[in-house]
Amino acid sequence: ESQLNPNYNFENFLEGDSNRLARSAGMAVANKPGGTSFNPLLIFGGVGLGKTHLAHAIGVQIKDKYPAKTVLYISAEKFTQQYIESVKKNNRNDFIHFYQVIDVLIVDDIQLLSGKAGTQDVFFHIFNHLHQNGKQVILTSDKAPVDMQDIEQRLLSRFKWGLSAELQHPSFETRIAIIKQKLYQDGVEMPEEIVEFLANNIKTNVRELEGAIISLIAHSSFNKKEITLDLAKKIVDNYVKHTKREVSIDYIQKIVSDYFQMDVETLQSKTRKRHIVQARQLAMFFAKKLTKASLASIGSQIGQRDHATVLHACKTVDNLASTDKQFRKYVEDLGKKLSV
């Protein structure tokens, strides 16, 4: 029994800047277990960022490609329990032997070995045996080896032998892609503005993002109500209670370009076409109004402009809004869409 979850695979582990290194290294290991310099492969990162998913995906792909190899996924917690049990029952050696004949060992949340000297010791011996025999070890942890506490030095140094790859917070675009995949899997449709709202507000934890989608779907189906932005706002408040909702410059650019039916690249482009220039100026205006970013930072994020351009944009929007009725409507509509 490999304990692998086939629902966690590479196909549904979406790639983004935040996970590219870890994902690619995982793929390399999956295609040649024990045969790369990524041994051990240590995947680290915060809660809900995909460590367990990626660890399973590697195992699943190895099983697929090399059915004869024995792959075992285990959490460090369960490993510890098994070890303690084996000591009680006086079969510590059987325990060690069981692990030493595995081809690919995946241990999830290795930071949980912290402070457990006996388990660390036994893991050290298992690790050495596997490594010497060209077997693959894959570990995950919620922190980088340098930040791990109460783990023996000799073990920490082993962790650093291979590759440590970090899973970072996914970007706005990646969060959108993850939400859409989830909706697709569940056969649910959701208006684009709600997808963007969710992606903009739940940033630091993919599991919470998925949780919000699930509760949104449940609320709407049990109450036979449509999924509205108001409902989404209520649900999101349960996830991000203590942090005030805040819009990002990415989000502003996306909302403004959607509103004018252009893509973000067009909005950022060097063109002097009037309606594009206006859209860009509106994005700068709202970035100034709704974020804490400096003029220089806003400019560099909206098509590599300088701070003077952003300042000019803000003044232009103020002027036009007070003299041009149509333009005032743009400002009002966008203000509503971006309201937090």
Using CB under 5 A as the criterion, which residues of the chain lie in contact with Mg ion when the complex forms?
A: 51-52
Q: Given the complex with ligand ADP, which of 72 and 276 has the nearer CB atom? A: 72
Q: Which helix (H) or strand (E) covers residue 42, if one does?
A: strand 41-45
Query: Is 177 within 8 Å of 14 (Cβ atoms)?
Result: yes
Which of the listed partners (Mg ion, ligand ADP, none) does 173 bind, with a CB threshold of 5 to 8 Å by partner kind? none
Nearest to ligand ADP of 206, 287 (CB atom): 206
CB 172 within 8 A of CB 251: yes
The entry of ligand ADP, Mg ion, none that residue 48 binds, CB within 5 to 8 Å by partner kind: ligand ADP
Query: How many Cβ atoms sit within 10 Å of the Cβ of residue 149?
Result: 8
DSSP H helical ranges for 89-186: 92-100, 117-132, 153-159, 172-186
CB 79 within 8 A of CB 111: no
d(CA 54, CA 167): 10
13 binds ligand ADP (CB under 6 A): yes
The answer to the question of residue 47 lying near ligand ADP (CB under 6 A) is yes
Number of residues that bind ligand ADP (CB under 6 A): 16
**49 contributes a contact to ligand ADP by CB under 6 A:** yes
- Indicate the residue among 73 and 83 with the shorter CB distance to Mg ion: 73
Kindly report the backbone phi and psi dihedral angles of residue 268, in degrees, each rounded to the nearest multiple of 5, phi listed first. -85, -10
Q: Is 299 in the site for ligand ADP (CB under 6 A)?
A: no
Q: Which residues contact 340 (CB under 8 A, 6 or more apart)?
A: 244, 245, 246, 247, 290
Place of tokens 């590759």: 163
Of the pair 16, 335, the CB lying nearest ligand ADP is at 16
Taking CB atoms, the residue at the shortest distance from ligand ADP is 50
Closest distance of CB 182 from ligand ADP, Å: 8
Q: State which of residues 152, 173, 193, 210 lies at the interface with ligand ADP (CB under 6 A).
A: 210
Which of 22, 41, 44, 51 is in the footprint of ligand ADP by CB under 6 A? Answer: 51
Binding site for ligand ADP (CB under 6 A): 12-14, 19, 45, 47-53, 178, 206-207, 210
